[in-house]
Structure 1
Amino acid sequence: MYNNSIGYTKAQIESSSLNQLDQIKTLLDLRLKELNDIAVRIAYDPTLTPFMVRNNRVAAKTAIEELQKYKVNSSIIDSVFVYFRGDDTIYSQNGSQSLGVLAKEYKMTDASLLRLTDDLNHSETTLLRPDWSEDLIAFYYPIKPKESFHYGTVLYTIQKSVLSNYINDILDGLDRSIVIFDKNLKTWAAHTEGVDVPFSHFQSMIRQRADSAGTGIQDIKLSGKRYSAIYVVSAKSGLTFAAIVPSKQFLQPVTHVQSFLFVLLGVIVFISLISAVWLAFKNTKPVRELANFIRKGWGSGRRESRNELFLIREVFTEVYDHRGALMKKVDLQQPWAIERVLSKLLNGSYKSTEDVETDLDIVGMYLNADHYFMLVFRHTDLDEVKSWLTALQEQYKCIYALESLHKNNIALLVGYERQSATHRQIQEQVADKLRNLLYRQNNPSFVIGIGTVYPQLLHVNHSFIEALAALEYEFTATNGSMIFFEDIHEWDNESLSVPLKEQIKFAESLKRGDKQVSLESLNHIFRNLNQKEQSVFSLKMVCNDIILQVHAIDKELNLDKASVQLKTLTKCRTFVELKEKLTCIVSDICNEVEQLKTKQSTMLGKLVIQFINSNFCNYDLSLDQLADKYNVSTSHLSRIIKEETGTPFMEYLTRLRMEFIKLKLVTTAAPIQSIIQEAGYFDVSNFIRKFRKSVGMTPGRYRAISTSPAKQKPDEVGHTV
């Protein structure tokens, strides 16, 4: 019975839709025939011949009046035009105008104007243009219609909304989509209600079936939903009238049982809610305890409320707002936190993968790939490099840029998934794209150092050290070269030396103070020496080379503590003793380098702030000037200033100048303009607006209030609005 009811309802709705489509088709066919009849009457109207209209102004005026009458004869015509072929003038019920003016009036493009001219001059049969303009449909009728020679064309324009109104007047409120379109799938009018799938998904499918059947009903399934497609084709106009009805509507007339169940369920839910509320009010002891706790902890300055729920809501609202403010601060600090994590990663500060993943989750950073490697190149503007990364991030899973304090280097961390290409090919692809970006930015001279690929993120500092070591060979490389650490050749006489790559990696990690990589490289060197069969003399020569290398790095870094320890190495009598002492010295050097880097960063911050405090009145004081003075990048200097002051550079500079101007306004009688210019501002009017926004009054008003006998307290003046 249920299925029979659904089938009967389906047949009724489909039959109703089919009848309505047939009504729309019949009505539109009548209107189109009406247009054709009017065109025939115009063709045989003696007042609308080319001879009368072209050569007689009075006759032309009469022709326009006739067109007004013809327009009134049809309820769907928006405008009626008569055009005599070969002319540049077209006549309508509103007067005459050139084709160019007509095109401008209807905002036509050059292509549309050419098509309009061609249609007016060469149409041999009735021509329909549903896309004549955004809101209008055009009908072209050549005159005289049944003769072989046509001297003109009648053009009707009809508002698409008129056709849509025909559809709306006939609809009965059901959810469906009704569309009128031609053989070229051009839409004439449409009305959609309750159908969430665009009609274009059905259009070509319905047209194919309509061409073969003419009229019919088909079941269509699209995106997991079922629809009934009802269509009618007009034999006169060739238009297709189609309706799409969602099949779910067939269930509505037989849903009274479901409605009853829903009502019953609603009653049960309502009773349950009432019971729950009653029980909640009966057992409000936890709520009262929470309210008392809030009154004790956050009660100061809070208006007493007898309603515990209102009090709890108020406190939770404040906590939520405070959380939002904290989240904004966290968002501002996120870039700095990300760079901090990357710096620790490249310096080898992490001891386990879990520590790395924990910090990455905290700062919201994504670094999850199968393989990683580092690229290093000389550049001074980290922000500019970051702006390039969009072109690389589309292809590789994760890629980040970080500034290295070592000789203005920019380090690029690249992570990627397993691919069919080899690791070397992927490294070359990334380096080649980076090189093209550097060329495009007119970088005068650069070389790219590339480290080895590692499968674990924890070992990416090895690749960083290797990339720095490879970059040391830029002296012998040409501009734009890519130097792979793997390509560094070993010395010819391998029996008297350790691998050159290992020496370079050891030296570079020692300079950076990376204890983990330094000790691993040192152990690898001694293991290599221990495995080779060579004379004692040769072994001593190699050991002396290692000692000299450590001594040279110690001198380069100017480390006094390590220098004393290095002198004891010459007294070592065994190979094992030399390794143990050298291990201790390398550890001490790395620790001292880390302390030195921290000390230098702190000293630099104090020097920069001291310089700003002494020279903030200089009008040309800028972040670029400070970066050049202290030989650091602007991005790094900006971070140092923010760490020292808690505010960005420009905000800190503005605050110093503002306090200076306030002091001068109160303690001196100098002109306001002179004080503002003395503070480093040349645009006086702009500063006055800034002062008023910050203090709440103009500088003159501030001076008057601050120097009056009944002046306010300084903290009150600063906050007067």
Structure 2
Amino acid sequence: MKLSYFKSKLFLKYIWSYLFILLIPLVLITVFIYENAVSNLRAEIENSHLIQLRQTKNIIDDRMKEMSDVASRISYDERLTSYRVHDPYSSREAIQALDQYKAPNSIISDIFLYFHNDEQIYSSEGMSSLDVFTGKYRFDNWTPKDLNQDLNSIKFPTMRPADLLNRNSFEQTILAYLVPITPNSPSPHGTVMYFIKEAQLTGLIDSILGNYQGLSYIFDNNGQILTDNRHGGESLIEADANSLFGLSPGIHSQTLNGKQHSIVSVKSENNGWTYVTLMPSAQFFSSVLHVRSFIVMLFSIVVLVGAAIAIMLARIQYQPISTLAEFAYANAKPNRLADEPVLQGNELERIRTALLDYSSRVDLQEPYARNHFLFMLLKYGNAQSQTPELLQTFDLQFDRTHHFVMVIGWGALEDEQNNKQDRLEIIELLAQMEIPDLDTYAYSVELPQPDQLALIISFNLHVELQEFVHVQHIVEAIRGNILEMVNVIPSIGVGTCYLSPDHFNQSFIEACSASELRISTDHGTVTYFEKLSYTSDQTFWIPDNELLKLSQSLKLGSYDVAAQIISTVFRNLHTPEISSLLMRCICFDILNTMLKTASELGIDNAMQEMAPHVMFNSLDELEHSFLSLASRICAQVERNQTKKEHSLMDQVIVYIDNHYMDHTLSLETISFEFDISPSHVSRSFKEKMGVNFIPYIWQKRMEEVMHQLTMTNDPLKDIIMRVGYLDTPNFIRKFKKETGYTPGQYRKLHKENELIESTPELVEE
């Protein structure tokens, strides 16, 4: 490195700048890391515990729900009714059923079924008396008397805390979960009892603490400790443990046993249980002690490496500045004497002064250079071959999809001074013009002729506009801006629109031709080159889009639209400029369109209805004939649509009557079956039947249920599901609302009426 670099104040500033850029954030980051390492680690661990504890809570909730569902299914299982389990022949089947209910749930150690005031209790292993059961299963804190009382009196699902169970000299900690059956009944007739190993619950939360010491608790909704687990830590006194139940769900910090603890609490919305894990906060600090020595070592290394990098970066940045500074003040004054002192100030100040000098020179020449560049584009084209830097220098954008040129002329006026002033204002207005509504950029080019100005235009074609229409909008917008600004009415020639800016030269020649060949010599005319190539007769032909619109209106049966199109065409034919031959051809266009459309619609007699001499009538008679033909076609279309719709709805009704007992039947399935929209099915069905789809299906199913209630002895649930109704309680409620009886009452009443009709002599007696 040159020693002269260190003599430069700018170079030394760069070195110190890089060092400060490095050291200040490094010091702040170091302090921030050290101060927040503990809190960040603690937050991560606590959030991890919170997530895992919620997952554990969800798993246990799912298992508890499964056990409640099992109890519900047991209460409705015919194999496990009281008379079946007492029956010697069917008791084996009941035991097998209990075993089947036990198998799916992983936390159930054993399952028992007890009926109130019964001397027997049933399990998947068999039937035994209560005395034998209490002798076989002995709890430390649950006496046989209390067990018997709980089995007979409990009315709500209850989980007993973990208790030591002695079974045949084998001890293990068990939780007992008692669910009355039938569930939610105010007068249960029995109890389903589950034995759950404490390890099954504690095992789910044991892994949450990981390598950290701590405790975990599960409280029931009354604050009673169901189970607790110590993970290498000391236990809590009962008062501190009970205080954990009152904590709100989330993360807490609390002093217990004289030590600060981090506590994570989650509460179940299903059963009100609270899950808590806690660990001494001191463990977080011990986890980050190694960070201090690592930070000191890293800080030293970074400072040394950063100093070397700062010198290198300062040299890299200073070298081009030094070279540019030498070039700047060596060329700032080409005629500077050899003994004249160099510019004062540092290198950047010298460069700035030189650039200001160059910029002032460029500003004087830029308008001329820009106009020359644009004129070369008009003369030779090839805009895409220009470098992006050159286009950016002159602030030009040719990235649009369509391009054309227009030539504006205003001729010689009496007041030459005002004309010159107006011309200057127009040039300034159009130098660079943007029309956001039309997505257009325009750039003016002064031509050698003093009374003309060229305008290069680039735009993105709007989807809703045709190309020529879009061009017309742009020309009118520019013309309007000129008229608003100056008191000059220009004559405008417009060239053809091209997709590439390379054809600016062609469009410019066409614009000049249009300006010279304009139809009117008056000021204010706009002439399009594209129109110059058309004959006058072509303007009377009917556009293809109008014929297409006429055809589509006939296909849709819209006579008003068709009549409007036909009337408009004949109104335009009442002009002496149209020859008889051209008039006849135009009429044939309309007739061919209408006959072709009629043929596509299957109306084959349309031509026969037209008189052979119709083409030789007057225009008024011919218009009347065309309107009459359009009316007949539209009327036939409407009749065909009505007939088709009635035929389709007849098929839909037959389909509904055959499938109303299918529970999947809906407007969507019908629309899929017949390839029509659900809304169309609903509307047409209501018009056809006078009732909506859903009430019709309900009535059909209702009638079938009433028929089967009177003609069969099948269970009500089977009948309801057979007719396609899956919600039995809701059906019974609606049945009673409509008939005044429940289905059971309706069946009983019908049988009584049949009995009376079959034995009238009993009634008379």
Q: Common fold, TM-score beyond 0.5?
A: no
In the superposition, the TM-score normalised over structure 2's length comes to 0.32
In the superposition, the TM-score normalised over structure 1's length comes to 0.34
Give the greater-gyration-radius structure (CA): 2
